[in-house]
């Protein structure tokens, strides 16, 4: 799981160009959250990850191509 700390946090849009993944997210601003959100995604699908969520993904096929769009510069 990864995320950017204040003041460098970012909203992200992930687009799956090919292959498939399982995307995992967890809210990081809420210390009592005890669950992970899981999304199965394949080519042509996208997901928005808000800046207050940590996220990671697992590829579930060969030749996966994921593109990130971010609303702030990466440092």
pLDDT at 13 over 80: yes
Its pTM stands at 0.84
Per-residue pLDDT, 18: 98
Cα-Cα-Cα-Cα dihedral sign, residues 43, 46, 47, 51: positive
Query: Cα separation of 75 and 68, whole Å?
Result: 15
**32 token code pair:** 């009592």
Q: Give Cα separations from 60 to 22, 30, 52 (angstroms).
A: 7, 29, 26
Per-residue pLDDT, 75: 65
């Amino acid at each position: 799981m990864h995320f950017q700390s204040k003041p460098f946090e970012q909203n992200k849009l992930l687009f799956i160009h090919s292959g498939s993944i399982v995307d995992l997210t967890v809210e990081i601003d809420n210390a009592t959250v005890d669950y992970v959100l899981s999304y199965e995604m394949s080519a042509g699908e996208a997901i928005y990850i808000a800046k207050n969520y940590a996220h990671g993904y697992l590829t579930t096929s060969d030749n996966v191509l994921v593109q990130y769009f971010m609303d702030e510069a990466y440092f």
